[in-house]
A and B are shown apart, each in its own frame.
Chain A
Amino acid sequence: QKEVEQNSGPLSVPEGAIASLNCTYSDRVSQSFFWYRQYSGKSPELIMSIYSNGDKEDGRFTAQLNKASQYVSLLIRDSQPSDSATYLCAVKIPGNQFYFGTGTSLTVIP
């Protein structure tokens, strides 16, 4: 069983819509959760981090964490074509270890 699972997509949404990206993880000792955005040919860029249950909002981005369900999600409101990228979910466990999902490819259609 993979440590971190994401739907690979591709996910397509029209401009201005809400994009919803989901991630599940298997290790119950997971401590911190991160979303990275990766444009084609570029390296991953941190866009959101969340550590406790509930929602965390930053501009058009909202991260949601439910530790009981071992589920973390990212909502992108008012999606823009510039949001088109692959979104990687990352989980940090004790010992400074990170596990990544395979990424969800998002396309925002103008």
Chain B
Amino acid sequence: EAGVVQSPRYKIIEKKQPVAFWCNPISGHNTLYWYRQNLGQGPELLIRYENEEAVDDSQLPKDRFSAERLKGVDSTLKIQPAELGDSAVYLCASSLRQTNSPLHFGNGTRLTVT
């Protein structure tokens, strides 16, 4: 089974520039998550999709962050404009809806904003 695929692996941009991250979840996984992880911290949820519907985006800074999951498969997370404080690792994960189904993470995108 192919795992969660993310790209790019690394991204360095100047502040105020836009950036986008892409994620392809495990086939058949209805639920897709975007997390942000700062150094020394656990992952923090940005947005969760059930199929193509964003069901939890309460922690997404909507003034600069946007996300979409067209057709309920791939997803894109965008930041525009980026700020220095956005430097972090952005993790995509997917799971099945079953109670005991764990999260499966992609390799993440390490974003550095200069």
Contacts and interface: CB of A to CB of B under 8 A. Distances in A.
Contacts of B41: 102-103
B40 A46 contact: no
A96 B50 CA distance: 9
A98 B103 contact: yes
Residue of B50, B95, B100 with most partner-chain A CB within 10 A: B100
Interface string A20-41: 0000000000011010100001
A20 to B, nearest CB: 19
B76 interface: no
Contacts of B95: 96
Contacts of B104: 46
Contacts of A100: 42-44
Contacts, number: 61
B21 interface: no
A31 to B, nearest CB: 5
A88 B56 CA distance: 22
Contacts of B56: 97
B99 A90 contact: no
B42 A88 contact: yes
A26 to B, nearest CB: 15
Contacts of B16: none
A4 B44 CA distance: 12
Residue of B95, B102, B104 with most partner-chain A CB within 10 A: B102
B79 interface: no
Interface of B: 31, 33, 40-45, 48, 50, 56, 89, 91, 95, 97, 99-108, 110
21 contacts: A31-B100, A32-B100, A34-B102, A34-B103, A42-B107, A42-B108, A43-B105, A46-B102, A88-B42, A88-B43, A90-B102, A90-B103, A92-B100, A92-B102, A96-B48, A96-B97, A100-B44, A101-B42, A102-B41, A103-B40, A103-B41
Closest 9 CB pairs of A and B: A100-B42, A43-B105, A43-B108, A102-B42, A32-B100, A96-B31, A46-B102, A100-B43, A34-B102
